[in-house]
């Protein structure tokens, strides 16, 4: 992942092209069919807290982590405005000690920010340590099938790179390519929606 100071600077300068201010539809659809008895969620890279707040509003117990102090301050403010409780943690997911065992880990664009194969393996290990046996991981990942316009847009991975990183620790339940509108770009961006279960 990028260094903390990079992310902090982007939040300080309000340079947040990924922040739509709306809960992620893929997450909404997953939770709509979520089995009863599954209640604890860890969001990695929670940003301003949009998805964490939405999850808490569904009655789930939410821990939200981000590397940026400014992002967490904005998330705390959003929690207060919506009158929900989330456990907010400032840490680097790649290096932190496990913060609990969860039913679901959600990341919207963090896994694809890992720098190289070794860092992806560390992310997968951390995800496994954070989940209960049989727990789920939903990841939104930039799709390498979309040719980047210069250097703009999110980092991108191929389906092969994703499979190589998560197997055999995780079973891929679905890996779907989808176009997502971007608030600061005229054309939509192609992402992978990857739902996995820990083996």
For the chain, give the percent of residues with pLDDT over 90: 66
**195 close to 162: Cβ distance less than 8 angstroms:** no
Any domain includes 176: yes
For 62-108, how does the pLDDT look when each residue is reduced to its tens digit (9 = 90+)? 999 999 888 899 999 999 999 999 999 999 999 999 888 999 999 99
Any domain includes 198: no
Domain assignment of residue 163, given as a range: 4-10+25-146+157-185
The residue with tokens 């604890």 is 40
Angle 12-22-68 from CA coordinates, rounded to 5°: 25
Any domain includes 191: no
**174 close to 130: Cβ distance less than 8 angstroms:** no
What's the CATH code of the domain at 136? 3.40.50.150
Any domain includes 178: yes
> How much is the mean pLDDT over the chain?
88
Element (H, E) at 51: helix 50-57
pLDDT of residue 139: 98
Any domain includes 193: no
In this prediction the pTM is: 0.89
Q: How many domains does the chain have?
A: 1
Confidence of residue 4 (pLDDT cuts 50, 70, 90): very low
Any domain includes 192: no
d(CA 24, CA 94) in angstroms, rounded, equals 23
Burial-class residue 119 by CB neighbours within 10 Å (0-12, 13-18, 19+): middle
pLDDT of residue 148: 58
Look at the chain and count its residues.
Answer: 199
For 28-66, how does the pLDDT look when each residue is reduced to its tens digit (9 = 90+)? 999 999 888 789 999 999 998 999 999 999 999 999 999
pLDDT of residue 5: 44
**DSSP character for 14?**
T
Any domain includes 16: no
Bridge partners, residue 43, by sequence:
64, 106
Cis peptide preceding 168, ω within 30 of 0: yes
Q: What dihedral angle (degrees, nearest 10) is formed by the CA atoms of 25, 114, 148, 141?
A: -20
For the chain, give the percent of residues with pLDDT over 70: 85
Any domain includes 18: no
For 115-148, how does the pLDDT look when each residue is reduced to its tens digit (9 = 90+)? 889 999 999 999 999 999 999 999 999 999 876 5
Confidence of residue 189 (pLDDT cuts 50, 70, 90): confident
């Amino acid at each position: 992942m990028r260094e903390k100071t990079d992310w902090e600077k982007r939040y300080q300068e309000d340079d947040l092209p990924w922040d739509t201010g709306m809960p992620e539809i893929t997450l909404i659809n997953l939770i709509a069919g979520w089995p009863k008895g599954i209640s604890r969620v860890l969001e990695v890279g929670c940003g301003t807290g949009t998805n964490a707040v939405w999850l808490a509003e569904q009655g789930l117990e939410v821990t939200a982590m981000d590397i940026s102090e400014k992002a967490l301050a904005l998330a705390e403010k959003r929690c207060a405005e919506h009158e929900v409780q989330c456990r907010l943690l400032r840490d680097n997911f790649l290096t932190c000690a496990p913060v609990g065992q969860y039913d679901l880990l959600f990341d919207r664009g963090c896994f694809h920010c890992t720098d190289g194969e070794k860092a992806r393996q560390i992310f997968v290990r951390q995800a496994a340590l954070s989940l209960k046996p049989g727990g789920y991981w939903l990841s939104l990942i930039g799709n390498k099938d979309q040719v980047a316009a210069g250097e703009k847009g999110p980092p991108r991975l191929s389906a092969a790179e994703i499979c190589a990183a998560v197997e055999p620790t995780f079973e891929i339940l679905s890996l779907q390519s989808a176009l997502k509108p971007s608030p600061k770009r005229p054309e939509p961006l192609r992402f992978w929606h990857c739902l996995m279960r820990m083996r």
